[in-house]
């Protein structure tokens, strides 16, 4: 199964594509969509949509795993991330992908074993689990890979989910 992990945002969107064979995971592609240079809000969303669409077409994932918005004291920031998340969900849905959501705590618990793990611990475990030479950079890309790994763990725990995912897309 090919999984696209997405760390949503409105200026920087992390993405990570992994293959999961039921036992192991392997990194296929990862990076960030940088939209900081685009001034208009709507134009940034259109750019993120187009770039995410290109990544989906190039990598042909079967499912998108997207991080949920966490509420913080910075309400405006949470709303912006939510708007960016909406673009990622819509783009994935329009591409015919199944979309799954995971909280930050769920991702951390899945990858590190502790829902309160530090970001650096998640990054180190992502490197180890994917047998990479170094921690994926930038941080948003590492986070997106961790989100994809989280979904693979869900499928490992519940093989029926993995079979249903593949059956829905004919793979």
Give backbone dihedrals phi and psi of 36, rounded to 5 degrees, phi first: -60, -35
Q: Which residue has tokens 């949470």?
A: 78
**Which residue among the candidates 51, 62, 67, 165 is catalytic per the annotation?**
67
Let me know: does 92 contact 127? Beta carbons within 8 Å. no
Question: Which residues is 7 bridged to in the sheet?
Answer: 14
Q: What burial class does residue 111 get, using C-beta atoms within 10 Å of its C-beta: 0-12 exposed, 13-18 middle, 19+ buried? A: buried
Let me know: does 141 contact 30? Beta carbons within 8 Å. yes
**Which residue among the candidates 7, 100, 143, 165 is catalytic per the annotation?**
7
Q: What burial class does residue 75 get, using C-beta atoms within 10 Å of its C-beta: 0-12 exposed, 13-18 middle, 19+ buried? A: exposed
**Which residue among the candidates 51, 140, 143, 165 is catalytic per the annotation?**
140
Annotation says 100 is catalytic: no
Annotation says 51 is catalytic: no
Annotation says 7 is catalytic: yes
Catalytic positions are 7, 67, 140
């Amino acid at each position: 199964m090919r999984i696209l992990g997405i760390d949503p945002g409105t200026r920087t969107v992390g993405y990570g594509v992994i293959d999961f064979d039921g036992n192991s995971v392997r990194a296929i592609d990862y990076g960030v969509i940088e939209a900081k240079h685009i001034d208009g809000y709507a134009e940034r969303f259109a750019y993120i949509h187009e770039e995410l669409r290109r990544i989906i077409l190039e990598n042909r994932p079967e499912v998108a795993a997207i991080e949920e918005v966490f509420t913080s004291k910075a309400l405006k920031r949470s709303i912006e991330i939510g708007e960016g998340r909406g673009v990622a969900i819509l783009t994935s849905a329009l591409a015919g992908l199944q979309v799954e959501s995971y909280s930050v705590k769920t991702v951390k618990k899945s990858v590190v074993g502790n829902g309160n793990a530090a970001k650096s611990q998640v990054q180190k475990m992502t490197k180890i689990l994917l047998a990479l030479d170094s921690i994926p950079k930038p941080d948003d890309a590492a986070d997106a890979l961790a989100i994809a790994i989280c979904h693979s763990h869900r499928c490992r725990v519940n093989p029926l989910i993995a079979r249903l995912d593949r059956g829905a897309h004919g793979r």
